[in-house]
Structure 1
Amino acid sequence: MKTAFFAYPGETPIVGEAVKGVIELTDGDSLSIKPWEKMKIVGLKLDDLIRDEIREANLLIADVTYPNFNVYYEMGFAAAVGRPVIPTVNIAVEKAAKRLSENGLFDTLGWASYANAEELHDKLKEWQSIAWSTKFYRPKDHSQPLFVLDCLKKTDFRNHIIAAIDNSHVRYRAFDPSEVPRLTAAQAVESISASAGAIIPILSDDIVDANRHNLRAAFLLGLAHGFDLEPLALQYGNGPAPADYRDFITNSTFRKETFNHVEAYCAQTLIRNQEVSARSRRDDLGLLGQIDLGSPVAEYETQQLKDYFIRTAEFARAIRAEGGVVIGRKGAGKSAIYFQVITSLQKDRERCIVDLRPASHNLSEMRESLLSVVAVGVFDHTIAAFWQYVMLLEALLKIREDLLPKSKNNFPLQERIRAIEEEFSLDESVVSGDFTSRLKTAIDLVVSTLANARSDRDVRSQITNLLFERPIPRLREAILSFADYFSEIVILIDDLDKGWPPLQVESHDVATIRHLIEVLNKIQRDLSRRGLGFRHLVFLRSDIYERLVEQTSDRGKYNVIKVDWSDPEQLRHLLWERIVSTLDKSHHEDAWAAINPEIAPGVTAIDKLIESSLRRPRFLIDVMERTLSFAINRGHGFVTTDDVNEGARQMSLYLVSDFAYEMRDLAGTPEDIFYAFIGAPAQLSHEELESILARNSLGLEIAEVVELLLWYGFLGVLDDQKRPIFIYDRAYDFRRLEAERGPVGPSVQYSINPAFLLGLTKA
């Protein structure tokens, strides 16, 4: 007889009654169910006993009708120790399935739904066919051994954790919900199985997205303990913690304590990273199991990126550019170019590369701080001075960092470095911090200096005294004094717009970027005249750049490098490079055939997945990973039509539920805007479209919302042959798409993107 351990929240009577009923109904069946209340707890630790029960059982049944941290932990633990898992959901409970879908962990699992004990009993009789188990492990990633669960809102507690990791110089991968909103169970298993360490913050209930974050944390902690990996579960304060893992939580109440915990753990991770992993179980999964697509987010794949990075024309232009702006939509691959430009340029030892990526600081917060003490009329003067000071200081700090190793046996160089450290007060707090912390320090300095200014003239005078009269000229001269070691300085800036507020971009936000670019051009002219080469690249989202040129009289002023992946052949090549990068050359064609069968006459799996991805590289890698996960966990030797369809369906659900957050954050539309189209026909007249939008509170004019839906690819327009044309079919040229739409009127026909349709069905 097979045994099952049933985990569920004890305080939910409707679930408890169903469990009690199903146990009675299974009496004498081939499956014996043991609920957690039947454990003999006296004299034993509850958490240890639960883990033992899961190990001894053949199956874990976990009711997730009401999200519960202990239950999520137990599911993670069961998956890691190789026990099949059946999530169950009582659909008689209002919004139970919706809550589960919003979480994202179950995108590649599914669940057994029931309304009463009899229905649950019928489902569990088929437990071998509906249970989920994972075989999708990864070998240990020695190049990036640490995994970090990031938070949606970048609080001080979170920023202290990231800063401490940066100080430890341990390379890490992360799940960042602001980049990829959903963490599936398969991705969680991959992330933890590949790690020598994991840092998992536990958030207090009053933090935005805390519940979803802490459920992910519980699942990841269970995985880590099942894989015999001791994570650092760090909780701010001393709040209550779930029984299953409360003994494993470390509390921190102030910055120094957080730094100490994280830096000590990072040191342990480096030691564990040298140990041989026993979790490399992919070889016995056939060819599919050996495919490693890498991360869809370039920031967390910096070491492997070189193995499958495609050297596009845009990359070549970025390498050659003396100054430019690299633009593209979120997920289009800008950061991949950023990292590979750094890698390529670093080969010249006479080149100083200053790579700046603020980990958290929001430029809009900076703008608010400055506007609070600076009249609008002198904002431009202030922000220009601020950027010139910050860029020159960052260049000098990077020069110092690069020269320190060379100064060990060079006393004159040591003295030159010591002189600039004294002149500019480069103490430990400055040089050990990151760009984010120094940016905030510089803002605080400006704000505190200007707080007592009585007039615009007073502000200008104080800014001139504070920055222009002494620090900026001295910083410039200090940089030039090291021209005998460096022939060129290259500044690359990414992610300045990453934390933009959940409203439309404001003029002062764009002005902040415009002044940064103008300051970089000014520094280039100043240093070049003195014989020191200087180049710069600023990486921006497309919507920010569009606003930038609207405020600029000369539209040709910026050297623009546009990252565009609208060509299906280019996307197909991207997948090929990722798939073959980890395989022996003799397996390349076989692996491609295994993941790209023909699923309909003239249509291959990759064709369908490309059209399910809105032609964004990040989305394409994500949907391919989901499809692979389904195929491997179902024991398939190659990707089947069902695997592709399920991957596309889950991607569609993700787009409907989570992609709207990107629109909300960048454009100010409601986060549930796509739900208005549930059950709508695939093609709509303009009147039908307006009728749907008029039923919802949009916060924007309907005409503006229609334009946004076209811009983000949710809607396309029908051409003369009634074929849908989406913005990526016109290389993201919105004016061209608008021209094809023509004057708004009864004849205009729209099409909902097929990538969304599966997620909009009522079934």
Structure 2
Amino acid sequence: MTVEVEKAFVAYPSRDPALASVIANGVAKANRMLGKRLRYTPWEFNDIAGNPLISPIVDGIDASKFVVADITYLNPNVVYEVGFAIGRSRRCFLIRHEKIEGDRRIAREVGIFDTLGYDTYNDDDELSASLTAYVDPKPLAFSTALDRLAPVYVVEPPGKGGVVTVMTSRLKKARYKYRSFNPAEDARLSAADAVKQVAGSAGVLLYLEDGDHDTSFIHDTRSLFVAGLAHGMGKPTLVLAHGSAETPLDVRDVVKRFTRPEDIIEHIASFSLEITEHLQQADPTPLRDLTPLQSLQIGDPTAENEMTTLGSYFLNTDQYSKAVRGEANLVVGRKGTGKTALFLQVRDKTRADKRNVVLDLKPEGYQLLKLKEDILTHLSQGASHHLVTAFWEYLILLEITYKLLEKDQNAYKYNHEIRDLYLELEQTYKTEGYSVEGDFSERLLALSQRISQDYGQRFGEADGTKLSTDQVTELVYSHDVRYLRQQVSAYLAHKQSVWVLFDNLDKGWSTQGVDPVDALVLRCLIDAGRKVERDMRKDGHVVHCIAFIRNDVYEHLMRQSADYGKEMKVALDWTDPDMLREMLRLRLLSGLPDGSESLGFDQIWPQLCISHYKGEETSSYIIERSLMRPRNMIKMFSHAKGFAANLAHQKIQETDLEKGIRAYSQDLLVELDHELTDVFPDSRDLLYYFIDAKPELTSVELAELVASAGVELSDVNRVIDFLLYYGIIGIQISAEHIHYIFNVNYDLKVLQIRAARAGSSATYVINPAFRPALGIIDPD
């Protein structure tokens, strides 16, 4: 009887002939040693165009016991195959050459591959040893239940623009909610999260940029991995690319090309039908024998991706209570502290009363780009403030009108009290010169572009232009605003209250380096919101305008105008570790069986994680490294849980926690390095100069280290302030006490003064959260 030889597919790039030779020799040696037990089939990928060869590759993966892929260089086809193999429920064994730099930096920014784990080798003998050792063929386990409330997953590119606006707005038009990976929110994409998101999707929407910059390559690498996952799992997948873009061989036949927005609309129209068909099918049979960790879902670190589930585990804080009572104009907080989560809960709470009119508006900076470039850079400061305030006031009024018409588009037919008011308001709103099509982002983009175009025709590009009130009115308004306001006021007599919630406006702005024009735009938005509130209050109506912004942006506004210290604001500053434990407890409960609601954190935690690590209680160990931000705590737990689930552990073990914190540390490092580069463009990779540094540094040592990264001497102190502000470093107060920014109520001046008093004897401590990624050894 002939025993069929088991096979393993080996994918690797041909970019480096010497490396390709090492891999080919290593595979050949392994095959000779293994004999008939296992046969490796090498597949070398060229980085040049050629005929698509996807069919034999798919067949090779399907016939393999497991798949080996070399990621020294991130060949796009290899990346796709890694995702495809995982989607096909094949174990993917990753390898990379230890001494070749290759695409190490790109892989670090992408985030997928170090969260999967890989073996390293230096020559063909070491590679052969790895291949002949036992490779566990057990694939990653993942739930196959569909998320029917938000069935589409989108990988967003780093640069927002018309393509992304059309993509997401058409999904909304199709009435499909979506979850997304947003690089502005998460610096890196973990493999476990990508698998979870694709597995729960009835459709995956991707866009290949094919740009020359690293950011485009990083985005395309993530997109190709996700495309491979989706195709491997048999998910409806739409991969968009510009008509002239070069695309990898493996996806060339499935990419849908476009040259104009109408092409995207057509592609998504067809894609929507595929999603519907997939949703109409019964949920696949869930995998059996999942461990509690493998089946546990605790939500997503990014609030936008858990709109439909957030209410079941949201922690009702005092800040939330104040916002929902209308006691705040501003909600401020650092990235990852829960601004968007609070935004969503305030929206849902107020929207639950059908008598309320709720606008959840998420403008983004790029939608105002034409306004900034074509107008605000040429106007005097007074004229800019006048014009932008009028712009926001007009937009808020239009959006309230739009929401009233949308909300009552059926009800007015059967309600004689509002019928005539509705028809009059509709006639006034649909005036010539104003586009009412698309979602809010499209209407905002169209309005700002129309004003920019009109301004250019009237005033050209002269600097220092001053505009009269009449000129601003003619430039901004397409409606008779006074008459429209009167009609809206009359209509609101039949409503209870209006809530105008703004989020995302500061997304993508440089941290601590806010453009003065951006600050003006935000300041005018707040002023316009207050003016709308006052005007409507005179007529007896209740209107609340709340903006959700970053701490550093608010502080910039404070420096520009003392009036903003008088704003009604709530600050999302987390300082109590027990509050973070309660936040995590609520999420853990949502993923545990019914009947667990009364369990305390100390009862739940030991069921899911070892109690101590290196002598420290594990929840305290995680919180200490979270920078007191909920998102970071969720990320850390999710990473550790992912490693434990991959190995079918019943609870998170020491090795899982160590790997999870290392992956999270890398996330933090990439994210903060990007933010530092925004403020100091010449300081790219500065944080990487801390690699192998001592955990404790004198003020002289810290200054020398910062200067060694190429930072100008005049900027060294500003960079150190940045490191303190973001909790990257703290100040040693005593042998037992270290003060980071969250230990002093987020007041940077406290740390600055303590450092100044200590002078040259000041000791700075690198936060333990960053040490694994930087190779810094913790002191005993």
TM category, shorter = over 0.9
Q: Say if 1:75 and 1:219, in contact at 8 Å, map to a contact too.
A: yes
Q: 1:327 to 1:365 in 2, by over 3 A?
A: farther
Which of 238, 241, 252 is the equivalent residue of 2:247? 241
Tell me which residue corresponds to 1:686: 699
Structure 2 counterparts to residues 255-404 of structure 1, below 5 A: 255-278=261-284, 280-281=286-287, 284-358=289-363, 361=366, 363=368, 366-404=371-409
Q: TM-score, normalised by structure 1?
A: 0.94
What's the offset of the Cα at 1:657? 2.8
Give deviations 1:631-670, integer Å, cap 9, x for gaps: 0111211111111111111111222233221333367573
What's the offset of the Cα at 1:93? 2.4
What's the offset of the Cα at 1:20? 2.4
Helix, strand or coil at the partner of 1:348: coil
Equivalent AA in structure 1 for residue 671 of structure 2: D
What's the offset of the Cα at 1:607? 1.8
Equivalent AA in structure 2 for residue 692 of structure 1: L
1:89 aligns to 2:102 (yes or no): no
Moved more, 263-272 or 638-647: 263-272
Q: Distance in 1 between matches of 2:400 and 2:8?
A: 61
Q: 1:307 to 1:627 in 2, by over 3 A?
A: same
Q: TM-score, normalised by structure 2?
A: 0.92
Tell me which residue corresponds to 2:11: 7
Tell me which residue corresponds to 1:649: 662
Tell me which residue corresponds to 1:507: 516
Tell me which residue corresponds to 1:715: 729
Which of 627, 636, 640 is the equivalent residue of 1:623? 636
What's the offset of the Cα at 1:137? 3.4
The percentage of aligned residue pairs carrying the same residue is 29
1:738 aligns to 2:752 (yes or no): yes
Q: Distance in 2 between matches of 1:127 and 1:215?
A: 29
Q: Distance in 1 between matches of 2:370 and 2:173?
A: 25
Q: Distance in 2 between matches of 1:172 and 1:191?
A: 10
Q: What runs of 5+ residues in structure 2 fail to find an aligned partner?
A: 46-50
Q: Say if 1:72 and 1:219, in contact at 8 Å, map to a contact too.
A: yes
What's the offset of the Cα at 1:322? 4.7
1:223 aligns to 2:229 (yes or no): yes
Q: Distance in 1 between matches of 2:218 and 2:613?
A: 38
Q: 1:600 to 1:748 in 2, by over 3 A?
A: same
1:34 aligns to 2:41 (yes or no): yes
What's the offset of the Cα at 1:123? 1.1
Structure 1 stretches of 4+ with a deviation exceeding 6 A read none
Equivalent AA in structure 2 for residue 681 of structure 1: K
What's the offset of the Cα at 1:109? 1.6
1:487 aligns to 2:491 (yes or no): no
Q: Distance in 2 between matches of 1:623 and 1:279?
A: 30
What's the offset of the Cα at 1:459? 4.7
Q: Distance in 2 between matches of 1:752 and 1:426?
A: 59
Q: Say if 1:653 and 1:759, in contact at 8 Å, map to a contact too.
A: yes
Which of 156, 174, 178 is the equivalent residue of 2:180? 174
Equivalent AA in structure 2 for residue 118 of structure 1: D
Helix, strand or coil at the partner of 1:3: strand
What's the offset of the Cα at 1:688? 0.8
What's the offset of the Cα at 1:16? 2.5
Q: Distance in 2 between matches of 1:469 and 1:654?
A: 46
What's the offset of the Cα at 1:267? 3.6
What's the offset of the Cα at 1:536? 1.5
Structure 2 counterparts to residues 330-729 of structure 1, below 5 A: 330-358=335-363, 361=366, 363=368, 366-410=371-415, 413=418, 415-425=420-430, 430-451=435-456, 452-453=458-459, 456=465, 458-467=467-476, 471-501=480-510, 504-554=513-563, 556-586=565-595, 591-600=604-613, 603-665=616-678, 670-698=683-711, 701-721=715-735, 723-729=737-743
Q: 1:458 to 1:605 in 2, by over 3 A?
A: closer
Helix, strand or coil at the partner of 1:636: coil
Q: Say if 1:350 and 1:486, in contact at 8 Å, map to a contact too.
A: yes
Q: 1:168 to 1:418 in 2, by over 3 A?
A: same
What's the offset of the Cα at 1:522? 1.4
Equivalent AA in structure 2 for residue 24 of structure 1: A
Q: Distance in 1 between matches of 2:60 and 2:613?
A: 46
Q: Distance in 2 between matches of 1:547 and 1:88?
A: 47
Helix, strand or coil at the partner of 1:240: coil
What's the offset of the Cα at 1:587? 5.3
Moved more, 665-674 or 487-496: 665-674
Give the total of aligned pairs: 756
Q: Distance in 2 between matches of 1:620 and 1:204?
A: 34
Q: Distance in 2 between matches of 1:347 and 1:109?
A: 42
Q: Distance in 2 between matches of 1:106 and 1:507?
A: 39
Equivalent AA in structure 1 for residue 173 of structure 2: N
Q: Say if 1:22 and 1:117, in contact at 8 Å, map to a contact too.
A: yes
Give deviations 1:201-257, integer Å, cap 9, x for gaps: 111224661111111122111111111113011111143322222111111111011
Equivalent AA in structure 1 for residue 387 of structure 2: T
Q: Distance in 2 between matches of 1:360 and 1:146?
A: 25
Q: Say if 2:236 and 2:278, in contact at 8 Å, map to a contact too.
A: no
Helix, strand or coil at the partner of 2:525: helix
Moved more, 376-385 or 638-647: 376-385
Equivalent AA in structure 1 for residue 154 of structure 2: V
Q: Distance in 2 between matches of 1:279 and 1:177?
A: 33
Q: Say if 2:61 and 2:85, in contact at 8 Å, map to a contact too.
A: yes
Tell me which residue corresponds to 2:135: 128
Q: 1:677 to 1:362 in 2, by over 3 A?
A: farther
Equivalent AA in structure 2 for residue 20 of structure 1: A
Helix, strand or coil at the partner of 1:481: helix
Q: 1:753 to 1:415 in 2, by over 3 A?
A: same
1:69 aligns to 2:76 (yes or no): yes
Tell me which residue corresponds to 1:41: none
Structure 2 counterparts to residues 190-205 of structure 1, below 5 A: 190-205=196-211
Q: 1:498 to 1:667 in 2, by over 3 A?
A: farther
Q: Say if 1:6 and 1:35, in contact at 8 Å, map to a contact too.
A: yes
What's the offset of the Cα at 1:11? 4.7
Q: Distance in 1 between matches of 2:312 and 2:771?
A: 35
1:55 aligns to 2:62 (yes or no): yes
Q: Say if 2:236 and 2:271, in contact at 8 Å, map to a contact too.
A: no
Q: What runs of 5+ residues in structure 1 fail to find an aligned partner?
A: 39-43
Q: Distance in 1 between matches of 2:208 and 2:386?
A: 42
Q: Say if 2:110 and 2:219, in contact at 8 Å, map to a contact too.
A: no
Helix, strand or coil at the partner of 2:414: coil
Helix, strand or coil at the partner of 1:554: helix
What's the offset of the Cα at 1:175? 0.7
1:151 aligns to 2:157 (yes or no): yes
Q: 1:522 to 1:233 in 2, by over 3 A?
A: same
Tell me which residue corresponds to 1:112: 119
Q: Distance in 1 between matches of 2:495 and 2:623?
A: 45
1:21 aligns to 2:21 (yes or no): no
Q: Say if 1:571 and 1:617, in contact at 8 Å, map to a contact too.
A: yes
Helix, strand or coil at the partner of 2:219: helix
Q: 1:521 to 1:592 in 2, by over 3 A?
A: same
Tell me which residue corresponds to 1:80: 87
Q: Say if 1:153 and 1:208, in contact at 8 Å, map to a contact too.
A: no
Q: 1:565 to 1:263 in 2, by over 3 A?
A: farther
Q: Distance in 2 between matches of 1:28 and 1:91?
A: 23
Helix, strand or coil at the partner of 2:563: coil
Equivalent AA in structure 2 for residue 563 of structure 1: L
Helix, strand or coil at the partner of 1:276: coil
